[in-house]
Amino acid sequence: MLLEYNRVIMNNSILGLHHITAIAGSAQENLNFYTRTIGLRLVKKTVNFDDPGTYHLYYGDESGSAGTILTFFPWEGIGQGREGVGMATEIGYAVPAGSLEFWLDRFAKKQVKTSEIAERFGEQFFSFRDPDGLSLSLIVPKTEDNRVPWETDEIKKDTATKGFHSTTLTLRKIDETAKVLTDILGYRFLSQEGNRYRFITDAVDTAAIIDLLEVPDGQRGIGAAGTNHHVAFRVKDEQVQMEVREKVLSRNLQITPKIDRDYFFSLYFREPGGVLFEIATENPGFTVDEPLNELGTHLMLPHQHAHLREDLEKVLPKLS
């Protein structure tokens, strides 16, 4: 009875991170880095719903599981953005114990600059940046992450990334954002190190951590290449999503109606610190229009842009 109760509670909760979306410059550079250097799978090649002349690229594990998906809008020639307050400023990936030296060696050979190995909240990690300057880190979790990673010829399961560990939001003040995390999204405060405050959800074991970094005199971020666009939280289905929407509205925050993104349904709202949050469903998933073994191999267009295929294939950069 207790197990069943816990299962019901979990299914009606925010289930950690669903995906994170960032901005890139060159689509080809972005594809090369995340598939060849990091070893993620390209699980969907589609276009920006609001700007169909731009790709929307999704990277993750074999099936594009929620909590593994990093997506990009690669606007060719957009120019460099600036990390700052009011945005997500670091994406943390979980990696197996003993793998950090492998990654440092690999990045050195690929001429990717990294920090030294350090410790945060009792977990070893190091930081690095992608070709556009997006800030990422590889983290060895305290508790073993048992997710099955996507493997490549060069990156096997004993070193491959497992999916998200956490993300960091940089804010001038954390108080109101913290209330959104705890009162609406079901997170709890876990620990503090300096000006970094860690929040976690008990609804899932992975992709469960949000860090709030308080920088009272920090510069406002500028969204462009190398910055994060939004952070998406995962819910089981549309019913739970609508329950979350009511909670957001009850706090006098503006939130969009439900939007069909083909692979999930979305709601968007901006939390008081300025970060754009999304609530995204697990359903229907990335195999709705491509079989599992062909994910990411075709240009898949949203229904409203399907009639533009011939024109878009001329405009979009050729990817190899």
Kindly tell me if the per-residue pLDDT of 3 is higher than 70: no
pLDDT given for residue 11 in this prediction: 55
Give Cα separations from 104 to 32, 108, 113 (angstroms): 18, 6, 9
DSSP 262: S
Structural domain total, the chain? 1
Write out pLDDT tens, residues 147-200. Answer: 999 999 999 999 999 999 999 999 999 999 999 999 999 999 999 999 999 999
Kindly tell me if the per-residue pLDDT of 299 is higher than 70: yes
Inside any domain, residue 164: yes
* 214-237 average pLDDT score: 97
Instruction: Dig out the tokens for 143 from the structure.
Output: 């508790």
For residue 246, the enclosing domain spans: 2-315
How far is C-alpha 275 from the geometric centre of its chain's CA atoms?
13
Inside any domain, residue 297: yes
Inside any domain, residue 320: no
Instruction: Dig out the tokens for 277 from the structure.
Output: 């949050």
Rounded distance, CA 286 to CA 63, Å?
7
Write out pLDDT tens, residues 249-266. Answer: 999 999 999 999 999 999
Q: Helices marked H in the chain — which ranges?
A: 2-11, 27-31, 100-109, 175-179, 238-250, 309-315
How far is C-alpha 76 from the geometric centre of its chain's CA atoms?
21
- Smallest Cα–Cα separation from 14: which of 174, 241, 252, 169? 241
Helix (H), strand (E), coil (C) string for 172-226: CCCHHHHHHHHHHCCCEEEEEECCEEEEECCCCCCCCEEEEEECCCCCECECCEC
Kindly tell me if the per-residue pLDDT of 4 is higher than 50: no
* 43-65 average pLDDT score: 97
Inside any domain, residue 184: yes
CATH number of the domain encompassing residue 239: 3.10.180.10
Inside any domain, residue 153: yes
* 213-242 average pLDDT score: 97
Percent of the chain with pLDDT over 70: 96
- pLDDT bin (cut points 50, 70, 90) of residue 13 is confident
Kindly tell me if the per-residue pLDDT of 9 is higher than 50: no
* 92-104 average pLDDT score: 98
Q: Tell if the pTM clears 0.75, that is, is over it.
A: yes
Is the CA virtual torsion 28, 82, 40, 261 positive or negative?
A: negative
Inside any domain, residue 115: yes
Rounded distance, CA 183 to CA 10, Å?
16
